[in-house]
Amino acid sequence: MTTGKGDDQPLATLTPLRGIPLGTSRRGRRAAHRREEPALWFITITVSGARMRAEEVRAGLERLSEEQPFLVSAAYASSRAELRYWDESVDIEGAVAQALRMWREHQESAKLPAWTVVGLEVVDRDTARRRRDEPVRTQVGELGEIRPLEGGDS
């Protein structure tokens, strides 16, 4: 384990681990989220826990990229990591449940740190593509601010 710098150290980034860019699939458009057919979901999961050597975290993420074929990218520090990947599920509830289990299910085989999920975002394919295509993602500027989405329907 390392000591010293706090969690404010910048995340190192592996991009992309598997070379899978967003939006490479060009299939015909299906009906919106039909429960009979699986849909693609873009998952961002953040895990955190006890500090360890960053090299060990990176090695675990590289092993995970071999086990999780849809891993798009990962960022890591000595006490946290953020993963982005595609997953398939018939609905968002299934995608969330799978995402919450993913780190734990690969923990032993990929020799991942014994960290827990501290953040999770699941969005559909159209939302992920729209975000990719936006030039700059605008942050909320003030507490209580309510504003229209950039490029959204008016």
Q: Is 144 contained in some domain?
A: no
Q: Is residue 2 part of a domain?
A: no
Q: Which residue has the higher pLDDT, 101 or 143?
A: 101
**CA-to-CA distance for 22 and 15, rounded, in angstroms?**
12
User: What pTM value is reported for the model?
Assistant: 0.70
**Number of structural domains, the chain?**
1
Q: Is residue 3 part of a domain?
A: no
Domain with 42 in it: 12-17+36-128
- Judge whether 153 lies within some domain: no
Nearest in space to 31 (alpha carbons), one of 94, 90, 95, 99: 90
pLDDT in tens, 109-121: 999 999 999 999 9
Query: Between the CA of residue 141 and those of 29, 91, 147, 149, 154, what are the distances in Å?
Result: 35, 32, 10, 13, 20
Q: What is the pLDDT of residues 23-79, one digit of tens each?
A: 433 344 444 444 578 999 999 999 999 999 999 999 999 999 999 888 999 999 999
Instruction: Tell whether 7 is covered by a domain.
Output: no
CATH number for the domain including 105?
3.30.70
